[in-house]
Structure 1
């Protein structure tokens, strides 16, 4: 409320909490683990460069830091002035918390609207009840013909959704087949308008026009049963106008259903449905006089459309555009386990989101087009936009990646060992090239073809925190740049078997102070992790994801490298059996360890030098460094 230039939308929070956007900020741990409340600030533009070398200050829009600083300063000053009034509150129930949840959104970065969920529920319930009463009264007065007309007009909305989604999703499936990259819009997000927005709009208009013709046919049939004093030509024209009005009103029914669902589940962003329902309904009632016209229909006034959608567009257009940009940006890091997701999946997500926005926001506009002389021109112009955009992509004039907005890749010199090799033998060593961006690496490998890379899904690499199921690897000239002294060790110090079996293991990560350790929770009920006599992870409250508990450690130059791990086995561990599946292919392993070393070997350095400029190393807490050692301990050690 005190921010100088407020910018915040609860719809973004709703999408994060729903899991649709697979991302988070550093505030997440404070909220989920400690249950603390606070303000979360994030930049959403140029999401494709996050955690790469291209994540530079120069990519921030001018004034972004100043904007954040002024808002933060105003907030801190207000908080400091009010701190003496703050006091500890009694523990609130989940119901109290849900009722006190803040609903917030800004209007063009100038005003911030904030109110509680309790008020939102009251407002939304009021709008829903009034809308239902109006519609019920209208249908009772209009009788069966009105009910049938409403049903058919709403069917036109459903057909609109089906056509719009189908056209847009079809393009999403085709792009990986005809383009060098399945995501050709990463460096130029505006391509989404032509690639997905244009076909979605054509589909929406086509689908609704099909529904319009069905509705028009019914109205003509219904009018033929009544005594008519008008000529057939005049009557046909009036039926077209009546069908146009029913389609406009069906748009409000669409938003009414969305509002009812959002209100039932207490979705904070349901305020958008209120605005898109109330404003057009008010404009229609104010300018067109009645919901179910008893007089001869007249053409819908253009001012009805302008008055009805101006406020909704002002309030929601900015956030919807930013959300499309955000979703487009995160597609570059969409495949967290490279090779596990289909190439078309990211496109389909973007296509569905764009088509949904088109159907939701243009539903009132479309009803005006069916009687318009500009219908053909609109079809041709939208089709031309799609064709032009697609030609720019296929010709390479607009590349999928650039030097500034590059494809995220990882080049890792991997040394795999289970500790079972002799003095004159070497563990398996190779260079792994993979990318969290959907799509194959054929064009990238062309630049390093003399390094002997093979690409495919034949070799699955388990990096403990994630898996690589599609990538490229080369074992030529990979024995230099590391030594056996760098290989970590997992040594069983003691193993006391029985009902209460416990095992002590010493771990030496050698030159690495950044590592990830996975513990099989199907076999291990609990464990204790120590460094000398310091207990780093105490016994109790252990959970696993897909059968593994993962510990990640990152220390400085003088961080410890020797640890003690005490494992407490589950009872009847020997009798436990599990069906093998994609996530339990390594069920025969008790421990998995990856140690990272920030070192370039001669082979990895050559590969990085030869990679094209549109590639950028991706680095996150779960990602390996350029040199990684993979070790494991089998269950039957």
Structure 2
């Protein structure tokens, strides 16, 4: 940022618009810095385009993973960037909710109505938000890549007359038809076109493809229709067996390996562990369909008496089956293009390329340039032309997305112990199988007549066995010092209050991980009398620890009972509409999370004690899982005393006939965090295994946390 500011200042005399460099804080607490700037700073009214520099890793290319809504920024970037990098596929995944996080760009776009670009590093995503997320690991080339692209873009944008107009908010205005489709080619060139052009292009290709298929089936008659159905059946079998073989490995891995996700430190292992089983399954499924189609075509040729020699009839049937399998691959991508076009998926250009290029190569080389006689083997040139363009365009994005998926596995379990240990493996295996089925569908059609099937099967089995052996023997470790398993070590003081009086409290050191798997190996090395299991879940307000480890050795030192937050009922009116007033004193903590039970509370107001201004005014409240969560992070002089006014849902009652599980529910939950290392925590931290790293995201408390709550039956 500072280097960009220095570079921009050298050309500022020719600018028609200013460039604001905004360094935000509180992004992980809830995008607080960006929200404060947009809602409170006078400069926010002058902003026309917003650029967000993010990270999901510590290196690689800084690529665009969100752009728009108006395409002005992405079009300018594509025209001037020296090494453009970005793909709308990442934007589709992000906007779909598959990636459950947000960036400051959401505030700029949703709250301020701005358009712009959102950049991020994505390499080595496994170290993100851990103690291993160090500046020295960031490669200088990555910084240079971002700097050169951004400097060129800022100079172009700031000098643009269209952005400097008084009605410059035109750049923020947009329609769905104006949104941009964008992708880079090998990081050297970026293609950008608008949605209305994509609609026309897709509609044209779809109409022509459907018309060609209808005409070919009409001309081919009943035999062509059955052949198409059988070749499509082979595609279905390819998908079923490819996913089946890969998922089977996914379930076996946690049983055989020391860690449920054993390839985090070595992502290339997924090629051997899931890629080759997927390939074997795909080849098996296609071969079964090929056998059925070959038998049908053989009987057809016998009936039609195309040749009097049975051997010739069998050869012709095999050659025709090979061609139908290739054409079935285009049918697969035609269906995908139809669906993506119907749902306006931005990355529809991928099925477009995988449909058009193979169709062109088949039509040119097999139909136009070949004599229209008896079937012949597919030409190798057909395959090369069919795969060259779509593979070059889409391979980089596929590798990057799979890498991010593997890297985020270290923080996959948002509620530690809340998901099965095999789930990450199943997700990765399905993604890898889908990539194999999508990209290998044309190649597999060549293998049924070649002598390459046995070598491919043999090599696949050997490489899968070697990969599995490396995992089982721990020759390739699941975690390393740099790519480590994420752990949290927290000294917890858990209290229950009634009418302002502490009834009891428990104090212990808690150990849990957002990485799937048990902690038996880690606990054994730490050797602090930890007990692990699910018998004692801990509610940390923003997440729940459903599996973890606890130790109560020397639990009284390092904190004082006077630090326990005060959560008191000031007044409870049960006349007509029930209203409850609660006072909150967070004591020494200026970083806390508060949850209000929205199943019982219709509305609430939240303010600093003695201040009439409401931090959270009355009005419609959002809810996740029946709770509205407030996260607060302030400075040294931030307030610590607050008032909460709760308006109950009408006729909300809680009889004594509730189940024991219902009685455990709370009206209000509070977690206050203190950045302090108690003696017990210090001992545990010193003994952490080398393959473990502390996880520092805001969903985790500091090393000292006080938990308080008001039960429903107060």
Q: TM-score, normalised by structure 1?
A: 0.95
Say whether residues 1:209 and 2:287 are aligned partners.
Answer: yes
Aligned pairs for 1:12-31 within 5 A: 12-31=90-109
Whether the aligned pair in 1 keeps the contact of 2:416 and 2:513 (CA below 8 Å) is yes
Indicate the residue corresponding to 1:418 in structure 2. Answer: 496
Q: Deviations over 1:219-241 (max 9, x none)?
A: 01111111243422222112111
Whole-angstrom CA distance in 2 between matches of 1:580 and 1:87? 62
Mapped contact 1:499–1:572 kept (Cα < 8 A): no
Contact 1:25 1:42 in 2 (8 A): no
CA distance in structure 1 between the aligned counterparts of 2:568 and 2:171, rounded to whole angstroms: 47
Cα distance change on mapping 1:273 and 1:293 into 2, 3 Å: farther
Matched-pair contact (CA < 8 Å) for 1:142–1:292: no
2:500–2:569 contact (8 Å) kept in structure 1 = no
Match of 1:257 in 2: 335
Q: Distance in 1 between matches of 2:300 and 2:484?
A: 60
TM-score, normalisation: structure 2: 0.85
**Partners of 1:34 and 1:609 in 2: how far apart?**
46
Q: 1:457 aligns with which of 534, 538, 541?
A: 534
Residue number in structure 1 paired with 2:673: 596
Deviation per residue, 1:405-453 (Å, 9 max, x gap): 000011111001113699998620111111011111111111123x111
Instruction: Report the Cα distance in structure 2 between the residues aligned to 1:578 and 1:208, rounded to whole angstroms.
Output: 60
Residue in structure 1 matched with residue 194 of structure 2 by the alignment: 116
Q: 1:574 aligns with which of 653, 656, 662?
A: 653
**Aligned residue among 135, 158, 162 for 2:213:** 135
d(CA) in 1 for partners of 2:656, 2:376: 73
Counterpart for residue 70 of structure 1: 148
CA distance in 2, matches of 1:406, 1:273: 37
CA contact (8 A) 2:500 2:567 kept: no
Matched, 1:472 2:549: yes
* Aligned residue number for residue 522 of structure 1: 599
- CA apart distance, 1:17: 1.6
The whole-number CA distance in structure 1 between the counterparts of 2:500 and 2:82 is 68
Shift, 1:620, TM fit: 1.4
- Structure 2 unaligned residues grouped into runs of 5+: 1-77
Matches within 5 A, 1:471-510: 471-510=548-587
Contact kept, 8 Å, 1:495 with 1:504, in 2: the verdict is yes
Selected match of 1:193 from 249, 271, 289: 271
Distance 1:363 1:156 in 2: 10
Rounded Cα–Cα distance in structure 2 between residues aligned with 1:615 and 1:577: 47
Asked if structure 1 preserves the Cα contact closer than 8 Å seen for 2:496 and 2:502, the reply is no
Distance change >3 Å, CA 578–CA 168, structure 1 → 2? farther
Contact 2:115–2:172 (CA under 8 A) maintained in structure 1: no
- Other-structure match for 2:48: none
Does residue 285 (structure 1) correspond to residue 368 (structure 2)? The answer is: no
Say which SS state the counterpart of residue 182 (structure 2) adopts. strand
In the alignment, what sits opposite 2:167?
Answer: 87
Alpha-carbon contact 2:558-2:678 (below 8 Å) kept:
yes
What residue number does 2:705 align with? 628
Measured in 2, the distance between the counterparts of 1:4 and 1:579 equals 66
> 1:474 deviation in Å?
1.1
**How many angstroms apart in 2 are the aligned matches of 1:291 and 1:594?**
73
Larger deviation: 271-280 or 604-613?
604-613
Structure 1 counterpart of 2:457: 379
Distance 1:440 1:298, change over 3 A: same
Residue of structure 2 in register with 1:320 after alignment? 398
CA drift of 1:587 comes to: 6.5
- Aligned position for 2:521: 443
Match of 1:558 in 2: 637
Q: 1:225 and 1:484 mapped to 2: Cα distance? A: 92
- CA drift at 1:62: 4.0
- In 2 relative to 1, CA 586–176 (structure 1 residues): closer, same or farther, beyond 3 Å? farther
Counterparts in 2 of 1:577 and 1:163: CA distance versus 1, 3 Å: farther
Q: Cα distance, 1:635 vs. partner? A: 2.4
Q: In structure 2, how many angstroms separate the alpha carbons of the residues matched to 1:5 and 1:576? A: 66
| Residues 79, 126 of structure 1: alpha-carbon distance in 2 compared, 3 angstrom cutoff | same
Shift of 1:372: 1.0
Partner Cα separation in structure 2 for residue 497 and residue 114 of structure 1: 62
What is the CA–CA distance in structure 2 between the aligned matches of 1:344 and 1:472, rounded to whole Å? Answer: 21
* CA distance in 2: counterparts of 1:201 and 1:225, whole angstroms: 36
Q: CA deviation at 1:202?
A: 0.8
Name the SS for the 2:300 alignment partner: helix
Q: Which runs of 5+ in 1 are unaligned?
A: none
Give the conservation status (yes or no) of the 8 Å contact 1:138–1:291.
Answer: no
Measure the CA separation in 1 of the matches of 2:248 and 2:115: 43
1:231 corresponds, among 309, 317, 342, to 309
Other structure's SS at 1:42 match: strand
Shift of 1:128: 0.5
Report the secondary structure of 1:418's partner residue: strand
Question: How do 1:355-374 residues align onto structure 2 when only pairs under 5 Å count?
Answer: 355-374=433-452
2:286 match: secondary structure: helix
Matched, 1:340 2:395: no
Task: From the superposition, tell whether residues 62 and 248 of structure 1 become closer, same or farther in structure 2 (CA, over 3 Å).
Answer: farther
Residues 345/482 of structure 1: CA separation in 2 closer, same or farther (3 Å cut): same
Moved more, 416-425 or 488-497: 416-425
Kept in 2: contact 1:124–1:263 (CA 8 A): yes
Q: Spell out, residue by residue over 1:55-103, the C-alpha distance to the aligned partner (whole angstroms, 9 max, x if none).
A: 122333441111111212222222211222472568999xx63222211
| Partner SS state of residue 646, structure 2 | strand
Checking the alignment, whether the CA contact within 8 Å between 1:513 and 1:561 is kept in structure 2 is yes
Report the Cα offset of residue 559 of structure 1: 1.6
How far residue 180 of structure 1 moved from its aligned partner, in angstroms, is 0.9
Q: 1:257 to 1:578 in 2, by over 3 A?
A: farther
In structure 2, what is the Cα distance between the partners aligned to 1:523 and 1:88? 47
- Say which SS state the counterpart of residue 184 (structure 2) adopts: strand
Distance 1:388 1:586 in 2: 53
How far is the alpha carbon of 1:357 from its aligned partner?
0.5
Offset from partner CA, 1:376-414 (integer Å, 9 cap, x none): 111111111111111111111110100000000111110
The count of aligned residue pairs is: 632
- In structure 2, the CA distance between the partners of 1:618 and 1:248, relative to structure 1 (3 Å rule), is same
Aligned equivalents of 1:340 and 1:460: distance in 2?
10
After superposing the two structures, state which structure 1 stretch, 52-61 or 156-165, moved more. Answer: 52-61
Give the aligned partner of residue 323 of structure 2: 245
> Structure 1's 282 and 425: CA in aligned 2 closer, same or farther, altered over 3 A?
closer
Larger CA deviation: 3-12 vs 525-534? 525-534
* 1:138 and 1:292 in contact (8 A); partners too: no
1:306 aligns with 2:384: yes
